[in-house]
Chain A
Amino acid sequence: MTALPKLRTALAEIEIAGLAAALDLSGALYLPDEDALVVADLHFEKGSAYARRGSLLPPYDTRETIGTLASAIERFRPGLVIALGDSFHDIGGPERLGEGEREAIAILQAGRDWIWVRGNHDHALPPAIGGEVARELAIGDVVLRHEPAAAPARDIAGHLHPVGKVAMRGRSVRRRCFVTDGERCLLPAFGAYAGGLNACDPAIRGLFPRGFIAHLIGDHRLFAIGHAMLRGD
């Protein structure tokens, strides 16, 4: 196992089917052996997708998401970035992308490999967006895909936007989280406007028949919380 670069941010180190991985406070996952940074569900241009339907949400979600991604890339300086699908909120997303955001993405892509895994929201991507497009990837036994396969499976996936909720003495905290059982890992949604699905929902619980640990993203570090401690909505 390659030693992780010395990082200022609190990280959680886990293994996914023997593959070393570090969970970042931003919601990204870093694979040191591949020098790859994995993010899921960026949902670029969700704001403008809503605006088209009459909810004029602030149009800053894409630049906000890119900003968070840029600082994660700055921290890890990975040779490869993998966006695990639903990188754009809809098919029209890449077209609505502002000039500034387009350039910012190009700058992040410069000098490294970049793979867009296709998701259900963005099953087609224009070549102008740079990088390669793939349906799924494999690293050894582990498959990187947008939508997790039915259990049992060894994969790293997104799609479900997991959040965990903890309630203690009259206070409840609901945060995005990674979900893992050591064999597979679900990534939280990375996008600024991406909502969440409770990890206790059958859609997520069903993927982990042996139970799971959720790594909730706190204000300053990640917290590993057993599924029994989590609450439904």
Chain B
Amino acid sequence: MRWFEARGWRPRTHQLALLEKAQAGRSLLLVAPTGAGKTLAGFLPTLVEMAEPSRPAPLRGGEGGRLHTLYISPLKALAVDIARNLKAPISEMGLPIRVETRTGDTPAHKRARQIERPPDILLTTPEQLALLLAHREARELFSGLRRVILDELHSLVTSKRGDLLALGLARLHRLAPSLTAIGLSATVREPDDLRRFLVPQRPPALSERENVAAERPDEGRALSGVGASLARSARPRRPLPLGEARGLADLVVVEGGARPDIRMLEIGAPLPMAGHTAGHSMAAIYDLIRAHKTTLVFVNTRMQAEFVFRALWDINDDGLAIALHHGSLDVAQRRRVEEAMAEGKLRAVVCTSTLDLGIDWGDVDLVVNVGAPKGASRIMQRIGRSNHRMDEPSKAYLVPANRFEILECRAALDAVHEAAQDTPDARRGALDVLCQHILGMACAEPFSADELFAEVRSAAPYGWLTRDDFDDALRFVATGGYALRSYERFAKIKQGSDGLWRVRDARVAQQYRLNVGTIVEADMIKVRLARTVRARPGAVIARGGKVLGEVEEYFAETLTVGDTFAFAGEVLRFEGIHDDEVLVTRTSAGTEPKIPAYEGGKFPLSTFLADRVRGILADPFEWERLPPQLVDLLLWQRRRSVLPGRRDLLVETFPRANRHFLVAYPFEGRLAHQTLGMLLTRRLERARLKPSGFVANDYGLAVWGSGDIAARAGRDPGFIDRLFSEDMLGDDLEDWLAESALMKRTFRQCAIIAGLIERRFPGQEKTRRQVTMSTDLVYDVLRKHEPRHVLLRAARADAATGLLDVRRLGMMLSRIQGRIVHKALDRVSPLGVSMILEIGRERVQGEGADEVLAEAEAALMQEAMG
């Protein structure tokens, strides 16, 4: 404290409150807006404790000290950055404290030394924690641990990484009984979810019935003795402080600084009806950049980032230093941008969510968000990137890219004004992550199934876990968990005569270490500039140009030679794939990219904002807060069709260009709409209405085909209601899941995380397509023979919230029952125009594989006839 005082630094109230609670041995959650000095506050108790003279002198050169504090961050770069920031005060204070980082980049000898002679403070990531906990020395290493600090907790808990972290934390609490946890988080909707995450939970005991079920003799046999030791008493628990007895860490909240100065950018010209590039607003954005010191321009997708960056450079008459930053750019290029940013050399960075988190990017004084905000909390965190001092207001502009997005921006502004949050609900821990963890625990030391089960359930995301689910996961880890019990001799973990489970051999442990973690990258493929352009027509292009970055493999798969697309700030021509690389050439200036989009921004509109948007649409009194161009549109819509009530679903049908269209506006986000589109197409197919495709965006979807849907609805008044009835989530969903590429991709991720198949590594690229292929084949076979297998259950749970967003679709279908407003129109409505315009912009879906093949076959016939 003296050191701080000497520098004229006065601890803030929340920092003192945190210190006091931590010194009283409490776990706690610190919720603060960005710029409040969260991370330093988290370390304060540790620094104070270690500076106390009563602390026994560390044993140097001998056996080494004890690990005192563990810091875990979602970003490797953040851990490294914090280490740097910590070392300065520590050395200036002359404290004998060793601070080290441990990441994937830490050399092997240093890792080994860190276990032999641990530092006082270790900064690391959730994956590295899992590896450390699976180490044979884990118990020794962590038994004296006093504190764990979890940074950016709000972002960690929304994914499987959070599940893995929760399981690791449960183990830490068990290894180090006097451990306390400090969580650091941005403002969230439900802080209690995070407070539970930090301390061991005592979920309601399993009911008698469940226990009996697990002990039934027949089950006992099937579990190969898992249930046998069930009678043994649960481990004794340490007495808990009062707050923790309720399963909640203490809460310290920093009230949210100055109110952000945020507004919608008005350009005085009409916005287009659709599109996401905000081309009309570039001049205005450029003026803003010119008028500020440093501007962060956030966009939602990489495609948008590419477009905005190019558009700004086209009008960059002052030659301002404007850079581009997104996840598919080459790492070295990203690092250069980050450094230039930190040094204050840049006037603006156009970026995707890659800059949402973490590191302080210097003096940003303006945030511009181009396109739909998608969520209230999300937009607030982005705005928080400006003015990293909490006493000054953050300044931000929202830039709608089309007229629809004005609605969403309006709803987001209202939400920010009310400080309303829409962070997602607490997750249910995933089964595939549990499988990975069980194997890790067996690598560390022999375990008793009962004790591990109790430990896992003490992790907040796994309070729901039943003994049956746990035993399924355990059996999966051991022998694959198949009803056909043919893999006993290949078991990875085995139960000894002492009832404890052990890993089979060092090779299995090695396999675990190589597969640890929950992040399964999409298959990426390098984009390389070809050096020489065709010397003669059809000549092979020489390679050897520089690598520009990576695109998803499934995007590359859809390209045909000659296609052009925007990437890395330029428009490139696809020349082919050679040796697992996309070869491209530069196009001449002014070329318009032919391929409209490639995925890369997958945040759907939040339920909360969607509801507000429907609210604004439904209530004409709200319209006075909207710009006239949008009000005109809504008035036209009311005249030509209808504006739906807040809870209604508007369905319009109309003929257009010899086809029959159905357009619906559920406002439930693109993912749920895509799933809905697939299911509607199947139903229309069955009704012999010959659907031929659909497009979906965040607000709605358009389906078309050769059958007259309106005529059918006219003859059969219940038709539209039945089309949208909830039972589509039954058999139709089942049928579709059987063949859905999205579901197969989801399954593949679960299979990798659970350790069914091995992760691939650089150098193994040659074999990777065979791996991709075989998980699809495994999915088909498993689905047919063991539909209740734990991995399929894990994949289904993911489908509910992930790429298929089935849960949200289900909620929508139940909301609209009896509230469907069908309008049969003679032409497209004003709202419908924006959906129709997505055709050509968005990928058209809904065609079966056979239709695609038939078209290719027809080409052969033409060739033969021609």
Q: What is the interface of chain A, defined by CB distance below 8 A to chain B?
A: 48, 51-52, 54-61, 63-64, 98, 165-173, 175, 192-196, 213, 216, 218-221, 223-226, 228-229, 231-233
Across the interface, name the chain A residue whose C-beta is closest to B859.
A229
Residues of B within 8 A of A192 (CB): 777, 780-781
The 10 closest A-B pairs by CB, nearest first: A56-B480, A223-B853, A60-B785, A195-B770, A226-B860, A195-B773, A166-B856, A223-B857, A218-B850, A58-B782
**A58-B785, A225-B860 given; A173·B486 CB < 8 A:** no
Residues of A within 8 A of B492 (CB): 54, 56
12 extra A-B contacts, CB within 8 A, seeds A192-B781, A224-B857: A57-B757, A58-B782, A171-B852, A193-B781, A195-B774, A195-B777, A218-B850, A223-B850, A225-B857, A229-B860, A231-B557, A233-B577
Across the interface, name the chain B residue whose C-beta is closest to A100.
B484
Across the interface, name the chain B residue whose C-beta is closest to A65.
B781
Residues of B within 8 A of A165 (CB): 557
B486 touches A59 (CB 8 A): yes
B778 at the interface (CB under 8 A from A): yes
A-B contact pairs, 20 of them (CB 8 A): A51-B480, A51-B490, A55-B757, A55-B758, A57-B778, A59-B487, A60-B781, A60-B784, A166-B853, A170-B595, A170-B843, A171-B558, A173-B853, A175-B849, A192-B780, A193-B778, A218-B854, A219-B850, A221-B850, A228-B863
Q: CA A54 – CA B514 in complex, angstroms?
A: 13
**A172-B557, A225-B857 given; A233·B486 CB < 8 A:** no
B860 touches A51 (CB 8 A): no
Across the interface, name the chain A residue whose C-beta is closest to B557.
A172
Residues of B within 8 A of A219 (CB): 848-850
Q: CA A223 – CA B860 in complex, angstroms?
A: 10
**A170-B844, A219-B849 given; A64·B856 CB < 8 A:** no
B854 touches A223 (CB 8 A): yes
A232 touches B487 (CB 8 A): no
B500 at the interface (CB under 8 A from A): no
Contacting A213 at CB < 8 Å: which of B482, B511, B843, B860?
Answer: B860
B458-503 residues at the A interface, CB under 8 angstroms: 476, 479-480, 482, 484, 486-487, 490, 492
Residues of A within 8 A of B757 (CB): 55, 57
Q: CA A218 – CA B847 in complex, angstroms?
A: 13
B781 touches A168 (CB 8 A): no
Residues of A within 8 A of B769 (CB): 195, 233
Across the interface, name the chain B residue whose C-beta is closest to A215.
B857
Residues of B within 8 A of A196 (CB): 770, 773
Q: CA A232 – CA B73 in complex, angstroms?
A: 41
B699 CB to closest chain A CB (Å) equals 21
Across the interface, name the chain B residue whose C-beta is closest to A213.
B860
Q: CA A169 – CA B856 in complex, angstroms?
A: 11
Q: CA A52 – CA B488 in complex, angstroms?
A: 10
Q: CA A219 – CA B576 in complex, angstroms?
A: 29
Residues of A within 8 A of B781 (CB): 58, 60-61, 64, 192-193
**A56-B487, A60-B782, A64-B784 given; A218·B863 CB < 8 A:** no
Contacting A51 at CB < 8 Å: which of B487, B558, B782, B849?
Answer: B487
**A54-B507, A170-B844, A192-B780 given; A59·B484 CB < 8 A:** yes
B224 at the interface (CB under 8 A from A): no
How many A-B residue pairs lie within 8 Å, measured between CB atoms?
Answer: 136
Residues of B within 8 A of A226 (CB): 859-860, 863
Residues of A within 8 A of B853 (CB): 166, 173, 175, 216, 218, 223, 225
Across the interface, name the chain B residue whose C-beta is closest to A169.
B844
Residues of B within 8 A of A98 (CB): 484, 486
Q: CA A98 – CA B560 in complex, angstroms?
A: 46
A148 CB to closest chain B CB (Å) equals 20
B821 at the interface (CB under 8 A from A): no
B619 at the interface (CB under 8 A from A): no
B774 touches A193 (CB 8 A): yes
**A51-B490, A219-B848 given; A225·B856 CB < 8 A:** yes
B334 at the interface (CB under 8 A from A): no
Q: CA A170 – CA B554 in complex, angstroms?
A: 10
Q: CA A221 – CA B849 in complex, angstroms?
A: 11
B677 CB to closest chain A CB (Å) equals 14
Residues of A within 8 A of B213 (CB): none
Residues of B within 8 A of A221 (CB): 850
**A98-B486, A218-B853 given; A58·B778 CB < 8 A:** yes
Best-buried of B482, B554, B857 by chain A (most CB within 10 Å): B857
Across the interface, name the chain A residue whose C-beta is closest to B773.
A195
Across the interface, name the chain B residue whose C-beta is closest to A53.
B490
**A56-B487, A193-B781 given; A167·B850 CB < 8 A:** no
B789 at the interface (CB under 8 A from A): yes
Across the interface, name the chain A residue whose C-beta is closest to B578.
A232
Residues of A within 8 A of B850 (CB): 218-221, 223
Residues of B within 8 A of A228 (CB): 863
Across the interface, name the chain B residue whose C-beta is closest to A64.
B781
Q: CA A55 – CA B558 in complex, angstroms?
A: 31
Q: CA A232 – CA B490 in complex, angstroms?
A: 37
B265 at the interface (CB under 8 A from A): no
B756 at the interface (CB under 8 A from A): yes
A7 CB to closest chain B CB (Å) equals 19
A49 CB to closest chain B CB (Å) equals 10
B575 CB to closest chain A CB (Å) equals 12
Across the interface, name the chain B residue whose C-beta is closest to A163.
B773
A93 CB to closest chain B CB (Å) equals 13
B426 at the interface (CB under 8 A from A): no
B786 at the interface (CB under 8 A from A): yes
B577 touches A58 (CB 8 A): no
Best-buried of A56, A60, A98 by chain B (most CB within 10 Å): A56
Residues of A within 8 A of B716 (CB): none
A218 touches B844 (CB 8 A): no
A167 touches B486 (CB 8 A): no
Question: CB-CB contacts of B506-538 with A at 8 A, as 1s and 0s?
Answer: 011001000000000000000000000000000
Q: CA A59 – CA B789 in complex, angstroms?
A: 13
Q: CA A165 – CA B577 in complex, angstroms?
A: 14
Q: CA A84 – CA B785 in complex, angstroms?
A: 27
A219 CB to closest chain B CB (Å) equals 5
A65 CB to closest chain B CB (Å) equals 9
B731 at the interface (CB under 8 A from A): no
B487 touches A172 (CB 8 A): no
Across the interface, name the chain A residue whose C-beta is closest to B791.
A58
Question: CB-CB contacts of B227-251 with A at 8 A, as 1s and 0s?
Answer: 0000000000000000000000000
Across the interface, name the chain A residue whose C-beta is closest to B556.
A233
B860 touches A54 (CB 8 A): no
B857 touches A56 (CB 8 A): no
Residues of A within 8 A of B857 (CB): 223-225
Contacting A60 at CB < 8 Å: which of B484, B559, B843?
Answer: B484
Question: CB-CB contacts of B546-581 with A at 8 A, as 1s and 0s?
Answer: 000000001001111000000000000000110000
A55 touches B756 (CB 8 A): yes
Q: CA A132 – CA B130 in complex, angstroms?
A: 54
Question: CB-CB contacts of B114-127 with A at 8 A, as 1s and 0s?
Answer: 00000000000000
Residues of A within 8 A of B785 (CB): 58, 60, 63-64
Q: CA A232 – CA B557 in complex, angstroms?
A: 8
Residues of A within 8 A of B770 (CB): 195-196
Residues of B within 8 A of A167 (CB): 557-560
B511 touches A173 (CB 8 A): no
B486 touches A48 (CB 8 A): yes
B131 CB to closest chain A CB (Å) equals 18
